[in-house]
């Protein structure tokens, strides 16, 4: 198993096994990061990673996980933002015992 050199903000330069590091990629965007738990202070460290760094880490045996972009991020949001009055009205609507029947048309 390969050894990965990384830097902890508390401890400085450290060495980890490839099992102690994880690469996270976001599809279809090229943004990625790697993370590890420092073996000395146990701090969870997250660092951005270029495609070159990702390739080096994966070739050293580091596990890579890819997450798909949530579909909600591609939704079109038009119309005015929700106000405090909208929120209060919603609260009063769902406080009524028959709100679900009114919503479903029962």
Write the pLDDT tens digit of every residue in 24-67: 998 877 789 999 999 999 999 999 999 899 999 999 999 999 98
* Average pLDDT, integer, range 69-81: 85
The CA distance from 4 to 89, in Å, is 55
The CA distance from 33 to 35, in Å, is 7
Model pTM?
0.63
């Amino acid at each position: 198993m390969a050894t990965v050199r990384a830097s902890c903000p508390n401890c400085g330069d450290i060495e980890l096994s490839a099992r102690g590091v994880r690469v996270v990629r976001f599809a279809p965007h090229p943004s990625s990061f790697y993370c590890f738990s420092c073996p000395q202070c146990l701090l969870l460290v997250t660092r951005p990673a270029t495609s070159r760094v990702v390739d080096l880490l994966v070739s050293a045996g580091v596990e890579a996980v890819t997450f798909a972009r949530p579909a909600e991020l591609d939704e079109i949001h038009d119309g005015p933002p929700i106000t405090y009055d909208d929120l209060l009205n919603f609260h009063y609507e769902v406080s009524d015992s028959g709100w679900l029947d009114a919503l479903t048309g029962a």
